[in-house]
Structure formats: structure tokens, C-alpha cells
Structure 1
Amino acid sequence: MIIFDKTERGRTEIATRGQTVAPRLRTLLLLVDGKTSSDELLRKVAGLGLGQEHLEELLQAGLIQASGDDGAAAVSTAATATTAAVPAAAPAPQAAAAPAKSIAPAAPIPLEQILPPGQTQFEAIYHFYNDTIKSMIGLRGYGLQLKVERASSVEDFRELRQAYLEAVLKAKGEEIARSLRGRLDQLLYLGERPPL
């Protein structure tokens, strides 16, 4: 079992809200606390489409580290094996001008990076709401979960956005609510500009 903790650089990233970490990865970074096992962390963020490779990305960026000597050795071995097995990614082509309605001012995010493979927008939002309500809000989110079950369109999900964000803010605080809002807005609006 590997337990990760934030490095000094990771703590600075969270404290200063720097722009070096993507919103989805920021949620994972926020949850790294030096007490929770990597398996438990990955269960908590499964609804965000995050997996082992994202933990390794934070590790390679120097934002997290394994707690204890055994964990560091295991992670070092795993990271070396992963690096050797995975060829380097080709650089992403430069986008021309970003459309007026992009999520990020720099360039639009491709749909395949927003939607999990094989899921429609409706299914992705449904899973996001269910997984994060369960892991972030717990039993207090029961009423919200019922509303998710009754939703029959993306528009219904958009109407739940504010109540969901307020419940997460109350349960987990501003940083996690902000991070989840970024991921939720990507799913709800797929490249359109979300409401403020």
C-alpha cells in the first residue's frame, strides 16, 4: 500500500492557486494528505476519470511524494517501469485561435479529454454527480442524489449545478468545490462558457 503526501511544491501550488495543474489534477492533489492510501484516493476520484497515471503525473511533476522509505522505493520502481513501457507522447499540435466560447482562454479542450471513453455527455455527468456526491458529501447528499436519478436531460443536470456546488462547499471547503466545479463545468458545457 502506497501513501502519498504533498511536497513543498505541491503545497505551494494549492496555496497560491497556481496555473501549472489542470483542474481535474488539482482535485487529486487536494485529496493527497499523507494518510490516505493511493487505492482509496483513486476510488474517490474515479468519477472524475482520474487513475493511476494521474497520480504518476503529479509524482513526476514533483507535487507529491511517497510517504516513508518503502513507499518511495515502490513508487520509484513503478515510475521507472511505467516510463520504460510508455513511449514519449508526441507534442500536441498548436491550436490556431481559440474559439470565443472556449473553456480555457488558451485553447479548447478536445472532447475526448473531457468525456470518458464510451460515455455520452449525459452518462458522464450522471456518473460524475453520483461518484462525487457519494465520496465528497456522503449521506447528506442523499436528496441531491435523488434529483440526479430523476434527471432526464443535460439541462436537468445544469439546474442541479448550484445546489451541488453549495453542498460540496459546505462539506469539503472552497478549494475542493472550486476544483470540482471546473470538472463539472467541462462536462455540463462541453466547450461553451459556463455561468459564473
Structure 2
Amino acid sequence: MNASIYDKTEKGREEITTRKHQLASRLRTLLVMIDGKQSAADIMKKVSALGLTEQNLQELLEQEFIVEIAQQAESANGASESPPHATAAATSPVADSSAAPAMTDAERFQALYNFYNETIKSAIGLRGYGLQLKVERAANIDDFRTLRQAYVEAVQKAKGPEMARSLSDRLDLLLGKP
């Protein structure tokens, strides 16, 4: 797995705030996770359940949404050790001091918002309009948790139990359920 540490470029931060470059939502979700602190391997563990791979990370790199800022060192016992953040910040022309060490509530909220909108549209269609309005009104992660049951039932009615199970498993990962 990739032991590199990546951070967003100015173009990447611009995409997060304005959506100017119209990055595909799956790649945008991955871009949100890049924080200049976690190794690519750690990030991939978190997003692999969403179907994202290192190839997607490479796409962000090639399109200059992210930049490699450091290589993670291996300790004597084989465990990864992150370099101190000050070192990473010093080597990065685009270091972001506001980046969080893990998925923040804001990032989780955005990931849930994107997940609901994309899957309601693709799995439920126009019958999901009312549910989509509730997603738009959601103000916090608990609001998304409240929508979970109605969402799963609507998907099951529209696409069957297998699709409902698959999407509910992905949703539970985003919601932080075991």
C-alpha cells in the first residue's frame, strides 16, 4: 500500500469550496479525506468500502487536486510512523493548518449528503423526491441517522432487498455504525 502522505493543492481546496472543476462526487469524497496528515494507506482503509481505490487517488494526483508532501517512515517493528506535522508542513507549499487528523463532522456530513443525494437519485428516482427534500433540510449527522430507516425502506421497495442491504451497509459505514 502507498505510504505517501498527500495534501490538497490550491486547486483541490477550490474544488471543495466551490465545485468549480466539477469533480466526480466519488473522487470529491476522496479529496475531502486528504488532510496532509494521514498516509494514503490509512485513507484507503477508510474509503475502500465506498469502492474507491488507489487508482482514484492517482487520478486526483494526476489532475493536480492533491500533491505528495511526505513519505511515511517504517519503524523497526514494521509499524508506520508519521513524520511530525511540522516537517510535512515545511515541505508542502500548500499545507493546510486547518486540516483535521481524521474525518471531521463536516467531512462526514458532506460525505453523507453526497451519498444520500447520489443514491436516492440512482436507486429510487423521482419517487425519492420527498426523501431528497429531507436530505436538503438535514442540519447535522443526527438528521441523517433519522433518515436512514425511511431511506432503506424506499430503496428496498424500489430495487429489492439485496440493493437495500448493500446501500445500507455503505450508509452505516458513513454514519459510523458497527
TM-score (norm 2): 0.47
Higher relative contact order (CA 8 A, sep 6+): 1
